[in-house]
Every structure is written in C-alpha cells, then in structure tokens.
Amino acid sequence: MDNLEKFGYEQKLKRTLPFRDVLIYGMIFMVPIAPMGIYGFVAPTAFNMVPFVYFVGICAMVFTALSYYRMSQQFPIAGSVYAYVQRALNPHIGFVAGWTLLMDYILIPALLYAMAGVWCASLTPGVSAWIWVLVFLGINTFINVMGIEFTAKSNMVMLVIELVALAIFTVVGLSFVFNGGGMGGLSTLPLFQPDKINPQFIAMATSIAVLSFLGFDGISTLAEETTNADQIIGKATVIALFLMGGLFMFQTYIAALVAPDISAMDPNTAFFEIAGIAGGEGVKWMLTIVNILAVGIANTMAAQASISRILFSMSRDKVIPSIFSKVHPTHKTPWVATIFVAGFSILVLLLTGLKIDLLVKFVNFGALTSFIVLNFSVFWFFYIKEKKRDFKGFINYLICPLAGILIIGFVWSGFDIVTLQVGFAWMAVGIVWGAISSKGYKEVPEVFKNIKL
C-alpha cells in the first residue's frame, strides 16, 4: 500500500521506482567493487581469509537488514531510522535517532568526494584534488536534482561498468591461476583456515566486515519514490546485502588465489597490483579508473540522494528548518536539501583539509548508533506493543533484533576516544536542538497530534 495519507503526509515526491531500480540503488550505494580499495589493509590481518571476513559480515548485518525489512513493511515512508523510531517508540526519540543518523549520512558524501579527488590527483599531478572534488560534486548534484528516474538510469550505467570491470578481473585472474600462477588452482585456504580462527579473529573480522556493509540501509530512504514500497523496500534491502556479500567474497577469493602473499605491496593499491600481476598494466589502470568513478560518481550520488531524503523527511515535520522539504516543481526532487548537502560537503572538506582518515573516524558512529536504536524499536513495537509473541514472533521480534543489538554494540564498543567524543558531542547538539524545537520535548510534529502512540 503506497497511500501516505494514513501517515499524515501528502505524496510530493515522484513515485516511479520499481524493484530493479531500488535494488540497483542499494548495490551502487554499497559499491560492488568496494573490497578493491581496502583489500591491502584487510588481507594481512585476516591471514588472507578476506572472503571469510565478508561472510562474517553477511551473518552480522543480516539481523539489522531484517529489522529494516520489518519496519519498511509497517511504515513505508521516507526518513529511514528517523521515521521508523518515531512511530515505533516515540517522536522525540525518533528525532534524536534521526539526528544521530545524520552524522553518518551527511559526512559520507564529503568522505567520498575527498577519496575520489585525492585518487584523481595522484593520476593527474598537474590538477589539484579540489578541482576533481568540484567536478564530481557538480555532476552528482545535477543528476540528483534532475529526478530520481535520471538518477536510476545513471546508477544502471555505473553498475554495468563496475560489473564489466569485475568480470574482466575474474577472467584474467582465473586464467592466471589455472596456468600455474599464484596458488596454481582453486584452494580452500582463502575461505577457511581452522587453526587461525579464534575469538580474537572473529572480533576483528566482525569489526571490518560490518563497516564494509554500511550503505544497504540507504534503500529505505526511497520509500516514497518506490511503487509498492511496503513490499519492495525491505525485500531489496535484504537481497542487496546478500548479493553484495557474495560479490565481495568472490572477488577477494580470486585476489587471494592470484597473490597468496601481499606483504611487499602498498596496502593502498594492493588489489590493483594483483590485477596487474594477473592481467598486465592495462587491467591495473582500468580497475583504478573504474574504482574512482564508482566512488566519485556512483557511490557519492547515492549517498547524496539518501541524505537529501532524510533531510526532506525531518524538515516536513518541522523538526529542522522547513526549507529542506521544498520539492522541485518539475523534477519532484528535494532540490534544496540536495544542494545543501553539496555545500555542506565543501564546508566539511575545507575544515578537514581533505583528510580521509579523519573523516572515516566520524562516519560510522552515527550509522551504528542508529542501528542499535532501530533494532530495539523492532523489539519494542512488535514484541512488546503489538504483543506478537508466538514462536514466529519470538524469533523475528525478540531473538533477531537482540542479536542485531549485540553485534552492532560489540563493534560500537571498539570506537576510539576521539570518535566517541565527537559522536556524543553531535548527539548533545541534537538533544538540545530537539528540546528547543519541541519546547522541552512537550510538542510533537503535527502529524502525530491525532495519532495514539
């Protein structure tokens, strides 16, 4: 059911996306070739069992994905965690959860622009990284303002490019191995080495893998632009998680077969060096360029689209300035929010000086904290409030969300002190802002005044 009236809203965004486009959006947000950029850092600490690390990631994140699935069926509206927690727990807690999620979403575009700009500058020494940042920012902002259908078509093109690049690497990699290179054939060593598996290894693998899968949750922000959103959003979220996990495992397995030992390689470019070993310099540079396009355009475009929808959702409830809820009269996109994200990204990059490592520290706090609240909301709404406590309810609404809380909480506990300080400072600002805008948390958004919570 796509009727927004029962939630107190008018349909303002253009509802046209089918399942295929929503699934592709989620895949693009997660980046099908994401392991290529971090392989050199993960492989040494994982004893070359990177595919196993991603398998752990699938197992770890599936519980949170199921929570998104259940909430998107119950509340098929834009706003992601903000909207779900509002209705499952409390509008004020929902605001704080949404504000916390903003820390992740609003910083991701800046991080991705910095990565793409720095990578491009390394290939074009005469061109400043800032020039590349502005080029990518201009392209993505234009496409996102032009309409969600235009964005979907761009996503399809980028997905094809990434999958073709991955297919080329697969062919040259397997050819190299079967002709006596690397491990000289298929092996189970990259998949599982029982003598290396222990609680410390699992802890490390969980921390790496969970952070690698962030982005699947962005699908929920397209609920008001998707046909049959209550059926499609959750299904696409879970399928995207498994599809991407499979792709992550597959490409890193081949990389491990080609190069069992990468200790002498630069961790920043290890995967590309592996591609060069298997297929020559042409394949190496092809993968490098495709990764730049994947991050600089595809991934950033999806991230910018998601955060603009969250701002739109919060703005129409008037918990943040209402200007962000303005919709373009022709393209039916939240254009003010989209342009704001572009401007905010530039401000963040100016303040951080394109320091990627600094931005990475702050991005994950917001997402993981909001995931914990989301999982608790599923438990509270379905198991406590709706009293769905039969065997199916026991599994779906108690065991699964509890597992999600424990796993995410474990990873969350590993944040360094700087991340925690900045994260809690951000939350404190949100709590104060929420208190002011709700007159001491006494007033709720208009749409909740006639709803029994």
384-397 pLDDT per residue, tens? 999 999 999 999 99
What pLDDT does residue 290 have? 93
SS3 270: helix
What pLDDT does residue 10 have? 87
Is-contact 388 136, C-beta < 8 A? no
Query: In angstroms, rounded to a whole number, what is the distance separating the alpha carbons of residues 18 and 43?
Result: 38
Backbone phi and psi for residue 17, each to the nearest 5 degrees, phi listed first = -75, 125
What pLDDT does residue 1 have? 44
Q: Which residue in the block uniquely carries the two structure tokens 């006639």?
A: 450
pLDDT of 145 above 70: yes
Which stretches of 321-416 are DSSP H helices? 335-352, 356-378, 391-394, 400-412
Q: Hey, what long-range contacts does 413-419 have (CB within 8 A, 24 or more apart)?
A: 414/207, 415/364, 415/365, 416/361, 418/361, 419/361, 419/362, 419/364, 419/365
- With pLDDT > 90 as the criterion, what percentage of the chain qualifies? 54
What pLDDT does residue 65 have? 95
Is-contact 60 226, C-beta < 8 A? no
Confidence band (pLDDT; 50, 70, 90) for 197? confident
Q: What is the DSSP letter of 181?
A: -
Confidence band (pLDDT; 50, 70, 90) for 78? confident
What pLDDT does residue 2 have? 53
Torsion 151-157-159-162 (CA) sign: negative
Backbone phi and psi for residue 408, each to the nearest 5 degrees, phi listed first = -65, -40
Q: In this structure, which CATH number among 1.20.1740.10, 1.10.10.10, 2.40.110.10, 1.10.600.10 belongs to the domain 5-360?
A: 1.20.1740.10
Q: Hey, what long-range contacts does 430-433 have (CB within 8 A, 24 or more apart)?
A: 430/95, 430/96, 430/99, 430/100, 430/102, 431/96, 433/99, 433/320
Return the amino acid letter for 333: T
Q: Which residue in the block uniquely carries the two structure tokens 């790496």?
A: 208
Pseudo-torsion of CA 117, 123, 126, 131, nearest 10°? -20
What pLDDT does residue 269 have? 83
Domain boundaries, the chain: 5-360
pLDDT of 453 above 60: no
What pLDDT does residue 296 have? 87
Looking at per-residue pLDDT, the higher value among 219 and 45 belongs to 219
What pLDDT does residue 160 have? 94
Q: What is the DSSP letter of 266?
A: -
- Worst-scoring range by mean pLDDT, 54-58, 289-293, 358-362, 432-436? 358-362
Confidence band (pLDDT; 50, 70, 90) for 451? low
230-257 pLDDT per residue, tens? 999 999 999 999 999 999 999 999 999 9
396-438 pLDDT per residue, tens? 999 999 999 999 988 888 788 888 898 899 999 999 999 998 8
Q: What are the distances in angstroms from CA 408 to CA 63, 205, 213, 371, 375?
A: 10, 13, 12, 7, 10
- In 3D space, the residue among 363, 354, 376, 344 whose CA is nearest the CA of residue 423 turns out to be 363
Query: In angstroms, rounded to a whole number, what is the distance separating the alpha carbons of residues 273 and 39?
Result: 11
pLDDT of 361 above 70: no
Q: What is the mean pLDDT of the chain?
A: 89
- Worst-scoring range by mean pLDDT, 103-107, 214-218, 357-361, 396-400? 357-361
Query: In angstroms, rounded to a whole number, what is the distance separating the alpha carbons of residues 152 and 87?
Result: 29
Across residues 149-171, what is the average pLDDT? 91
SS3 66: helix
Is-contact 376 179, C-beta < 8 A? no
- With pLDDT > 70 as the criterion, what percentage of the chain qualifies? 98
- Worst-scoring range by mean pLDDT, 52-61, 190-199, 265-274, 351-360? 351-360
Is-contact 119 128, C-beta < 8 A? no
Q: What are the distances in angstroms from CA 435 to CA 59, 139, 450, 451?
A: 38, 38, 21, 21
Confidence band (pLDDT; 50, 70, 90) for 334? very high
